[in-house]
Amino acid sequence: MNEHIAPVALERAYRLLNHGPTVLVSASHGGVDNVMAAAWSCALDFAPPKVTVVLDKATRTRALVEGSGHFALQVPNLGQLELTYQVGTRSLVDVPDKLAESGVELFRMDGFDVPLVAGSSAWLVCKVIPEPHIQQTYDLFIGEVVGAWADTRVFKDGHWRFEEAEDRWRSLHYIAGGHFYAIGEAAVVRED
């Protein structure tokens, strides 16, 4: 774990996802690690923090999530634009060497057996709350966040610092095809 990574209090973990970034979803089961990109992920509750993520039945990652009962969401950044596109368009089913070819380097946090993508801005390790009906009908998974961390160069003291960080730290917001937007400038109604 590099010196810039710090824990995020669980009651503030929702802030990592609140602005709607595209995320990387990672999971591991039976010795297989995988990572995919997902635009359809969202905060669901504050405390304990919960999240939703849509995992298509065709993805290898979904099988790993179902097998292990855990997944991680990470917030990628402009410096990971190509990586995010690659893990979102290639499948481990077709490209066994997908992670290496996409430039993904994995690490693990002590006490959590879920692979995390190095170089991301934030990480949320989640435990699946089983809801078989919505998993099957809508491909929608609910997770409780059991650990959260961020890189202090872009998220510090419970707040994103996009306006102070280098541009490479800006979060990615996927539209379609190869088109993303980076998060932009702060818009502040009230200081509090």
Please report, as residue ranges, which positions from 134 to 153 form the binding site for its own copies (by CB under 8 A). 134, 138-140, 142
Nearest to 76 by CA among 175, 176, 189, 182: 182
CB of 103 to its own copies, least distance (A): 13
- Write out the two tokens for 67: 């097998």
Looking at the Cβ atoms of 12 and 29, the one nearer to its own copies is: 12
CB of 108 to its own copies, least distance (A): 27
CB of 169 to its own copies, least distance (A): 12
Give phi and psi for 169, each to the nearest 5: -90, -5
**In the Cβ-directed half-sphere of 82, how many Cα atoms lie within 13 Å?**
6
Pick from 10, 32, 54, 95: which binds its own copies (CB under 8 A)?
54
Pick from 33, 66, 131, 144: which binds its own copies (CB under 8 A)?
131
Pick from 10, 78, 95, 106: which binds its own copies (CB under 8 A)?
78
Which residues touch 126 (CB under 8 Å, ≥6 apart)?
51, 70, 71, 72, 73, 143, 144, 145, 146
